[in-house]
Copies of this chain bind each other. A is one copy, B any other.
Amino acid sequence: MIESAPRPPEGTGAALIEAGLKLFGKQGFSGTSTREIAALADTNVASIAYHFGSKDGLHTACAAEVARRLSAVATPSVPPDPTPDEARAILDSTLRALAGFLLTSPAATDVAPFILRLLGSGPDEAMTTLYASVIEPKHREFCRLWALATGQAPESESTRLAVFAAIGQLVYFRVGLPVVTRRMGWGRIGAAEAGAIADTVAANLHAAIERSRVP
């Protein structure tokens, strides 16, 4: 059963979710024991069953928390009737905000690996929830902005794929961060490194928009 209303976390339950988010993301679901989670949350193993029913229940709760945090970001404020240039500027700033979150925010360091694990596990319940509540609506909104910026149809195949490609670059930099940092010779990701990545992605965004613009 999925709780539709995301509640603000507090107490032992919240500590368990935070611990689960961190450990599930770092070691995977099967790779994390309930005792390990309880230890990190500084509570007893039985608390998991008490608050969430089971280990699976905790995992579902963690996915809901991820959806909650993701919704907090990437919510652009769109003026009522944006011009093409305005739409492009909104896409640019939203993409940069997303880059800052994914690459530097402490909240993302727990959230991002967790989502990565979800993706690899195929379409289970947690993934379906995350898709319906965050991914699909955001992607649809981006498609609308893309259409306004380029003049193309919002839900055409090329538009949807172009938006995926634009976001995909960013997601890849987060997913492949271990690879990227090694190749770039970076010790860790700071504001400067995140800025360089954001510039690259933003430049590609503008080039792609310019290219698919209809006269």
A residues engaging B (CB < 8 A)? 25-31, 113, 116-117, 119-123, 127, 131, 135-136, 139, 157-158, 160-162, 164-165, 167-169, 171-173, 175-176, 178-180, 182-184, 196-197, 200-201, 203-204, 206-208, 210-212
Residue contact B178 to A28, C-beta cutoff 8 Å: no
Residue contact A119 to B178, C-beta cutoff 8 Å: yes
Residue contact A179 to B131, C-beta cutoff 8 Å: yes
What residues on B are CB-neighbors of A139 within 8 Å? 183
Residue contact A164 to B135, C-beta cutoff 8 Å: no
Which of A158, A161, A207 has the most C-beta atoms of chain B within 10 angstroms of its own C-beta? A161
User: What is the minimal beta-carbon distance from A88 to any residue of chain B, in angstroms?
Assistant: 14
Partner of A127, one of B165, B167, B178, B206: B178
A207 to B205, CA, bound (A): 10
User: What is the minimal beta-carbon distance from A128 to any residue of chain B, in angstroms?
Assistant: 9
A133 to B45, CA, bound (A): 43
What residues on B are CB-neighbors of A178 within 8 Å? 119, 122-123, 127
Contacts A28-B28, A162-B200: A117 and B119 contacting too (C-beta < 8 A)? Answer: no
